[in-house]
Structure 1
């Protein structure tokens, strides 16, 4: 499961647009990015380093703000947005653009010349990047194939669509479709197969309050929330069966993320975070923290202090051992898909100037904390 994008609600029905749009991708080879000295996590025992990856081709800092990052399970690819004009050749404005960083080759590629409305999401294999964008007065989901530079538009023939979530290979896309028929507004959660063009409806809800679908890497499960009832559900697509509300009938909850292997569902209820085990149908409480993301195996939880919704400190917990590793003691934020498999890499954004040396741009930068 590779993330959800934020929704920009549009209140008017528009005609369907089918024009294909060319992708403009620019590649820049990056040398070693600024890296802080190794350190031992204050609450744990792992050695860690932190690296700034929103840098120019010569390794210097970006001249704009970079944010809303996601990382693949292997930790190799990081997708983010940036308003910097020096991350690669051809940048022509200071508007936010989507980028994909290959940590193995040291290359950063500008995905397109469009401005995402929210976070960009990368598929588990790094082959696709998806994001929402304003299209006329509607919102559309756009999926870019990185190897070919071609674009695939999500089937959004109703009103608007948003909040997309990938399968690991990029074939399946879960998203929210907003409808307006004769004054009746409602939403459906659908899973679209980009190869066959077929669609499976996961849920229908008679309102437009956020649903935030999250899909497992094998496209077998989709977790989602009913924003009106404050319930979290899990749909088994092959079996066409539904579980939920997983938090119980009398508890208001919001979905954080489904693990990539489909084994765990993270949700927040009150001031606590819960990790629901699909096999046993039981929830493990993590008191007084706000869950932010979980690693693909469901073992490592990234969290912030309870009661915070924006920038705060970030900590990674091993749910099996109960040990914590500090990701950032400075104000920082992260989204879903921020943790690689095994908790080895955590991507986050921060405006703090002392996370790595020589950070003087006064802007938000994207960092990766490496644990070993």
Structure 2
């Protein structure tokens, strides 16, 4: 479904907070149209903009200044003439007006009085046509189910997002059988089956007894909303003013939606509805002051009716909920119903609105924030007013017209032109550092996130999200843009972690990226444990094992090649004292070589008196062998009368990577 197209003046498409503005009413070479352009429509994704204009330099010979329909592809920069027959010939009379676009921009609907766009167009009135921008085929859709032309004019056409259904107003009485109400009606033409249905009817199928106008479709074409002065479409319609209705083409049920949340009918006219693409919400403006409590401004307001909950809310309010001082009109709504665009004469919806003329606003129904988007590049409201707002299906682009912006953007005259302000999603995320040494404390900062966004002045926020690559998100957290740890990492256990980060801009556009966080290896020192129980050496006794249960561990070394095991007396030592290696647990000596299980694990030296016992370890010195060796260290004294002062022995081990254990000590009583 095309987002509502304005009917005249110069237009600008603008995103909610920031972005880039470009002139859309230009030819493929980028030259601005030399005559005014009007009534833009925008595809659901904001890529295509359609409009009609009178220019002579837009790609079609137009000496008579007839209105032509153009489609601008904002992605490729190509501008294409759409108001042609299937062979590419332009209309012969009156030109073409009021385009509407399918959701993907493939199909363009427009109105024309031309007689040469399709064969056998002899009714002499305006018809509704559809142009397939892929195939070039032009089809007349304001026909009956058999393909016969109408006997009166047809206008106000709109197409569903999927391109299957076209709703339009027609004064004809021959499009369906039994059309005898002598009033204009709303019809829906199915482009797949060719069927044309009268839809401005009551739930029992009876036609409205007065005129129905301004149709709009849900994205799938199931629902059609319209304004009608008929009083027989629903029971209890006694207010004698135009109301807004929704017809469910699947169930046939017709519902009046310009009512309060309690179902009370309006006391003044309601008009110009637009259905959200998902079919849940209808936005319209009304002069009624009883649709919501506290409506005391005596002016038109914008209302949204939730078709699921039955709630009616007023959205032409400030961010604090204050009602506007002036009237608000011509609203449009995003596909999901979150964003509503509208024009307003109010000066109190935002701070600093002192330009004294109409502006265009967007209200975010989720956050409650209302923003004025029809402002100059320097932030000031323009002097000539902005009108006729429309919003793209994704809610991030808005169209409206403003003379002053046309001149800002390089127009060389006061011609009305189309402008596009596009909000871009963030394009990439960077992390200042993606490595962390192992064993850092919980809460350690890894790095700072940043992102690139084509739009200036964006406020970006970061979050960890689930999805591909989010395996290890739970081990991290974000504090603002700082990535921190929620766990302490061990290199030997796991040395690579995957996280998924999302950056969100000020209007909710996002980009996601996966990062690999590497844990770097830190040489962890060996650990000696259990060497703390005091022992007693009997005088004259054989060498005494210091500890047969001591253990040694090294988290990141498989062996102790190039390391050293030392034991020394640090307190009250005498020259007769001796630290030695005792044959025990498979430990033997051969000269200065030390063997464990018959394998040389190193060479020893020292150990007497104050001289430390040192064992230089080789590549055979596995953790288990070093532990066995440590358990074989013994103390003795060659003196028959040694001092009875307690000795203190200190043991430590160095691994081959340079890690040194914390020294452990033991007390030896004599």
Compute the TM-score of the two structures, normalised by the length of structure 1: 0.80
Aligned pairs for 1:71-82 within 5 A: 71-82=42-53
Give unpaired runs (5+ residues) of structure 1. 8-34
Report deviation, 1:356: 3.3
> Residues 361, 216 of structure 1: CA spacing in aligned structure 2 closer, same or farther, 3 A cutoff?
same
CA–CA distance in structure 2, aligned partners of residues 52 and 326 of structure 1: 20
The alignment partner of 2:367 has SS state of coil
Residues 292 and 213 of structure 1, relative CA distance in 2, 3 Å threshold: same
Cα separation, 1, equivalents of 2:173 and 2:60: 42
Does the residue aligned with 1:341 lie in a helix, a strand or coil?
A: coil
Contact 1:5 1:131 survives alignment (8 Å): no
Give the structure 2 partner of residue 230 of structure 1.
242
- Distance of 2:6 and 2:393 partners within structure 1: 24
Greater CA drift, 345-354 or 296-305: 345-354
Verify the 8 A CA contact 1:251 1:269 in the aligned structure 2: no
Counterpart position of 2:369: 323
The higher relative CO (CA closer than 8 Å, separation ≥ 6) is in 1
SS at match of 1:175: strand
Equivalent residues in 2 for 1:126-275 (5 A)?
126-134=105-113, 137-154=124-141, 155=143, 156-179=149-172, 185-203=182-200, 204-208=207-211, 211-227=213-229, 229-247=241-259, 248-252=264-268, 253-270=270-287, 271-275=300-304
Whether 1:370 and 2:422 are equivalent positions in the alignment is yes
Aligned to 1:120: 99
Q: Between Structure 1 and Structure 2, whose CA radius of gyration is higher?
A: 2
How many pairs does the alignment contain? 334
- Superposed, which structure 2 residues align to 1:58-77 within 5 Å? 58-77=29-48
The offset of 1:5, in angstroms, is: 8.1
CA distance in 2, matches of 1:4, 1:48: 21
Contact 1:214 1:224 in 2 (8 A): yes
Query: Given that residues 225 and 273 in structure 2 are in contact (C-alpha distance below 8 angstroms), is that contact kept between their aligned partners in structure 1?
Result: no
- Counterpart of 1:13 in structure 2 is none
Distance 1:157 1:241, change over 3 A: same
Q: 1:301 aligns with which of 329, 340, 345?
A: 340
Structure number having the greater strand percentage: 1
Q: Is the 8 A contact 1:260 1:296 kept in 2?
A: yes
Q: Which runs of 4+ in 1 moved over 6 A?
A: 4-7, 181-184
Three-state SS of the structure 2 residue aligned to 1:213 is strand
Residues 3, 205 of structure 1: alpha-carbon distance in 2 compared, 3 angstrom cutoff = farther
CA RMSD of aligned residues (A): 3.0
Tell me which residue corresponds to 2:555: none
* Residues 91/179 of structure 1: CA separation in 2 closer, same or farther (3 Å cut): closer
Q: CA offsets per residue over residues 313-358 of structure 1, 9 Å max, x none? A: 21112111122333213322335xx311332111233322566342
Specify the SS of the correspondent of 2:400.
strand
Q: 1:202 to 1:186 in 2, by over 3 A?
A: same
Q: CA deviation at 1:183?
A: 9.5
The structural deviation recorded for 1:105 is: 1.2
- Pick one of 399, 406, 429 that aligns with 1:347: 399
Tell me the distance in 2 between the aligned counterparts of 1:104 and 1:6.
Answer: 22
Aligned-partner Cα distance in 2 for 1:261–1:73:
12
Residues 127-160 of structure 1, C-alpha deviation per residue, up to 9 Å, x if partnerless?
Answer: 1111112256422111111111111112153422
